[in-house]
Amino acid sequence: RITIDTLVKGLSDPLFLLQKKQTVRHVEFILEMIDYELSTKYKRIVTQKIEHRIKSPDSIARKLIKKGYEVSFENAIQKLNDIVGIRVVCLYSDDVYKIAELLKQQKDFILIKEKDYIKNPKKSGYQSLHLILDIPLIYKDTTQLQRVEIQIRTVAMDFWAAVDNQICYKKDPEDMKKSEEELKNYSTVISTMDKQMLELRKRVEKM
């Protein structure tokens, strides 16, 4: 209880929140610029939605425990990459990579890690492209790096992840065996559908 209280206190510090808010604003501005560039170039809708969340103290505590760390504000900042999480959802799987490429070209963004769960889906069937980035926040003569996780995926992958989140992910594995199997199959169905939708778009573009 005491440890979660210090975590909650650290996470609700006004300066901490101000910095996170500005980081989200900056990244979302760049994502909107990327969407403008791509949708103008390809003359079609690229981004369906951009959303963000600041991880809740409970979820941070659970993740720290799962990773074997003591629950503290310091560990939350140092050990977790996704206290600030931003999600970009687009229509087609090739757009996922176009968006990621332009994010990587952004001069002030530092790429820490890229995890391609589309080429290599997780055991659960989860598909998404994750970029872990450090975003510099400049105030007067100081620069502070802010860690963010950006998840980029298609509408279909987002639908799968939302259902999985509700009925499987983070639940007791023993109770979940049957639904897990079923969801994994749907993940393959969704991946096939994404590929077919992309081929359909390409055929229509050639007409």
Q: Which residues bind ligand 0O2 (CB under 6 A)?
A: 55, 59, 63, 81-82, 115, 122, 124, 126, 130, 132, 161, 164-165, 169
User: In angstroms, what is the minimal distance from the CB of 204 to ligand 0O2?
Assistant: 31
CB of 170 to ligand 0O2, least distance (A): 7
Residue 155 beta carbon to ligand 0O2: minimum distance, rounded to whole angstroms: 15
Minimum separation from the CB atom of position 156 to ligand 0O2 (A): 13
Nearer to ligand 0O2, 22 or 124 (CB): 124
Comparing CB distances to ligand 0O2, the nearer of 48 and 124 is 124
Least separation in angstroms between CB 165 and ligand 0O2: 4
| 179 within 8 A of 167, measured Cβ to Cβ | yes
User: 122 or 201: whose CB is closer to ligand 0O2?
Assistant: 122
Closer residue to ligand 0O2 in complex, CB, 28/37: 28
> Is the four-CA dihedral 93, 95, 98, 104 of positive or negative sign?
negative
129-139 vs 142-154, strand pairing mode = antiparallel
Q: 79 or 201: whose CB is closer to ligand 0O2? A: 79
136 SS3 class = strand
Compute CA distances 65 → 38, 56, 75, 184, 196, whole Å: 41, 14, 11, 26, 41
| In the complex, least distance from residue 183 CB atom to ligand 0O2, rounded to whole angstroms | 9
Q: Count CB-CB contacts under 10 A for residue 140.
A: 5
Q: What angle (nearest 5°) sits at the alpha carbon of residue 99, between those of residues 183 and 203?
A: 75
The CA distance from 95 to 179, in Å, is: 30
Residue tagged 């176009």 (tokens): 98
* 8 Å CB contact between 103 and 109: yes
Sheet containing 142-154: order of strands:
47-54, 84-90, 142-154, 129-139, 110-116
Nearer to ligand 0O2, 46 or 183 (CB): 183
